[in-house]
Structure 1
């Protein structure tokens, strides 16, 4: 895992995401869609895989 990467709980990750989306003016429908997709991704990616995906982007 790259330096600076941290382990986060799924709930804190979704909470940060929801707060950021609300601050940017996204509506609740789009926030819900994203949270559902994140839940799907949590099932199929390990934290390490998700961190690697982030750092490679």
Structure 2
């Protein structure tokens, strides 16, 4: 018998999505009153950051910040 929590509704692991992350950033920046142009600049930069850095590097950056 396979023990797989993916088959138990509500216990699925979090799904990483670059687009979801961008959405969170957009929502947070809007909530803080950033201009549309500033938000566009940050979202464009995220494409580059995602391409050149790992999730582990991002976690380390956050924990040291």
TM-score range, shorter chain: 0.7 to 0.9
- After TM superposition, the score normalised by the length of structure 2 is 0.71
Structure 1 unmatched runs, 5+: 1-5
In structure 2, which of residues 22, 34, 49 is the aligned counterpart of residue 41 of structure 1? 49
RMSD: 1.5
Alignment coverage as a number of residue pairs: 52
Q: What is the alpha-carbon distance in structure 1 between the residues aligned to residue 15 and residue 49 of structure 2?
A: 16
Higher Cα radius of gyration: 2
- After TM superposition, the score normalised by the length of structure 1 is 0.80
